[in-house]
């Protein structure tokens, strides 16, 4: 297995982008998945590593992608994509290596759950290979209206808020302060149905979120800052991820 290949399982392979052509393929998939009019690209693309999940049984078709920005510690977190939207000064004291995962997307016509498993297996291999201690990013809900997600946000408030020592503060001009505003008890079934798959996986690993959601009208999403301390992932969940990544 080459250094670029993170994981190969069945018909799918997760690998690091190795050329400008690979980056363009990822940007094209993001454009399709996010429904943007112009090619989805930004200044962070040039400083990130990009992970491609390809279907080897279909001419190496690109079915999923995401990007990873590696930092040696919290002193670099102001350089992250997330820092545009959240005051992350509390995390500047985080001592270990960290990585921001962003622009995660699946091809809209592909629904095989193995794709998501291989994506997380590839992420796990990347984290292990680089000694990462904190994985973080923005987890997005489709659209900018909060009403359909109130049970999900109530669930986040009651069970998954960040520890106070790491809690992001408000920076964006348009936010939904769900932890302060919601008084409802969450309907667990409705909450999990409305929870984005990426966020659901973060939470299963012991992840935590900001106490507010950013209303991002440019991307037509609501997103919450999400973090996972690698050392705090439940042992059973860690074994499953490493089994996929092995």
Sign, CA torsion 88/90/91/93: positive
Sign, CA torsion 122/127/128/130: positive
pLDDT in the model for residue 236: 83
What burial class does residue 172 get, using C-beta atoms within 10 Å of its C-beta: 0-12 exposed, 13-18 middle, 19+ buried? middle
Distance between CA atoms of residues 54 and 23, nearest Å: 13
pLDDT in the model for residue 109: 96
Sign, CA torsion 229/6/50/130: positive
Sign, CA torsion 4/61/33/191: negative
Contact (CB, 8 A) for 222 and 241: no
Q: Strand (E) positions, the chain?
A: 5-9, 12-16, 49-55, 61-71, 86-87, 98-106, 134-142, 169-170, 175-176, 208-209, 213-216, 221-229
For the whole model, what pTM was predicted? Answer: 0.93
| Domains along the chain with CATH numbers | 5-245 (3.40.630.30)
Instruction: Give the pLDDT of the chain (246 residues) as one tens digit per residue.
Output: 567 999 999 999 999 999 999 999 999 999 999 998 899 999 999 999 999 999 999 999 999 999 999 999 999 999 999 999 999 999 999 999 999 999 999 999 999 999 998 999 999 999 999 999 999 999 999 999 999 999 999 999 999 999 999 999 999 999 999 999 999 999 999 999 999 988 998 999 999 999 999 999 988 999 999 999 999 888 888 777 766 665
Our measurement of the distance from residue 222's CA atom to the centroid of its chain's CA atoms, rounded to an integer in Å, reads 14
pLDDT in the model for residue 220: 92
Distance between CA atoms of residues 116 and 114, nearest Å: 5
Contact (CB, 8 A) for 34 and 64: no
pLDDT in the model for residue 246: 59
């Amino acid at each position: 297995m080459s250094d670029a290949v993170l994981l190969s399982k069945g018909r799918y392979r997760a690998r690091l982008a190795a050329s400008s052509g690979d980056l363009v393929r990822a940007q094209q998939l993001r454009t399709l998945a996010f429904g943007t009019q112009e090619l989805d690209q930004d200044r962070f693309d040039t400083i990130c590593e990009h992970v491609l999940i390809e279907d080897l049984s279909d001419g190496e078709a690109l079915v999923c992608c995401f990007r990873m920005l590696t930092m040696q510690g919290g002193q670099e977190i102001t350089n992250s994509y997330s820092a545009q939207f959240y005051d992350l000064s509390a995390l500047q004291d985080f001592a270990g290596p960290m990585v921001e995962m962003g622009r995660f997307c699946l091809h809209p016509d592909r629904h095989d759950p193995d794709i998501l498993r291989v994506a997380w297996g590839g992420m796990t291999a990347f984290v292990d290979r680089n000694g990462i201690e904190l994985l973080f990013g923005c987890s997005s809900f489709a659209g900018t209206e909060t009403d359909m997600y109130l049970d999900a946000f109530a669930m986040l408030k009651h069970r998954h808020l960040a520890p106070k020592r790491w809690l992001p503060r408000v920076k964006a001009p348009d936010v939904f302060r769900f932890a302060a505003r919601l008084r409802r008890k969450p309907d667990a079934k409705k909450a999990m149905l409305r929870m984005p798959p990426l966020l659901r996986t973060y939470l299963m690993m012991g992840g935590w979120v900001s106490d507010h959601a950013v209303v991002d009208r440019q991307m037509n999403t609501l997103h919450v800052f999400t973090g996972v301390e690698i050392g705090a992932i439940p042992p059973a969940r860690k074994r499953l991820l490493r089994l996929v990544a092995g």
